[in-house]
Amino acid sequence: MKKQIPVTRCQYCGSEDIGLGWQHGEALVTFKCHGLFGNRLRLYICRRCGAVLCQCVAEPYKFPPVKNGRY
């Protein structure tokens, strides 16, 4: 299975040096992935200018679809 990276290049400074970070429930951004539960957010960060290029949840399938859902 190929790992997909949504961004490979910084749209702000053009750097291709992208770092991966993790944001946990307490809104703390870390560089480690620990724990199996919680609302983990995966962050792709430009290592040159520090811009957050993309945020992805770790388990997107856990969230209910909007299309068919009712509010």
Binding site residues, Zn ion, CB under 5 A: 10, 12-13, 15, 46, 48-49, 51
CB of 30 to Zn ion, least distance (A): 20
Q: What is the largest CA-CA distance in the chain?
A: 43
Q: How many Å apart are CA 45 and CA 65, to the nearest integer?
A: 27
Nearer to Zn ion, 49 or 56 (CB): 49
Q: How many Å apart are CA 9 and CA 46, to the nearest integer?
A: 8
Q: Which two tokens stand for residue 16?
A: 């291709």
Nearer to Zn ion, 13 or 57 (CB): 13
Nearer to Zn ion, 14 or 25 (CB): 14
